[in-house]
């Protein structure tokens, strides 16, 4: 017996999009990170697909473009991507913070109660 995945309808920026899990699997099987190079802030939320972590907003943009929708990555927020992919049954993981970014704040915030001591400990 063939099971056909039910399409689900979502509203994104006032536009209706219809998508199913099979659509996402087929489309993201073609995803290559170099087609969407990392610029600016790194992602903290990832879609898990076949053992790969794909930045969640980039994954949604890739799917939307393939389906013929006219969106940019600025047209939706991470919450939209998480909501859509979770509703379709995909696992989402939260990445760890950027250690180098944290180091840039040493001395201006306290990691363990004493910013000056924290700065000495990190640079020793």
Residue-wise pLDDT for 101-113, tens only, equals 444 444 444 444 5
Structure tokens at 116: 């000056």
pLDDT top residue among 112 and 13: 13
Q: Is the pLDDT higher at 106 or at 90?
A: 90
Specify the DSSP class assigned to residue 50. T
Q: How high is the pLDDT of residue 30?
A: 85
**Residue 118 · residue 106 · CB < 8 Å:** yes
Confidence of residue 95 (pLDDT cuts 50, 70, 90): confident
DSSP 3-state of 55: strand
pLDDT tens by residue, 36-70:
545 555 668 998 888 788 899 999 999 999 999 99
């Amino acid at each position: 017996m063939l099971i056909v995945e039910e399409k689900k309808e979502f509203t994104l920026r006032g536009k209706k999009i219809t998508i199913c899990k099979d659509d996402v699997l087929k489309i993201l099987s073609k995803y290559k990170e170099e087609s969407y190079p990392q610029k600016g802030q790194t992602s903290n939320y990832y879609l898990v697909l076949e053992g790969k972590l794909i930045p969640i907003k980039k994954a949604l943009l890739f799917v939307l473009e393939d389906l013929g929708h006219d969106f940019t990555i600025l047209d939706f927020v991470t919450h939209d991507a998480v909501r859509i992919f979770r509703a379709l049954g995909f696992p989402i993981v939260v990445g760890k913070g950027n250690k180098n970014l944290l180091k840039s704040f040493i001395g201006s915030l306290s990691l363990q109660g004493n910013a000056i001591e924290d700065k000495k400990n990190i640079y020793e």
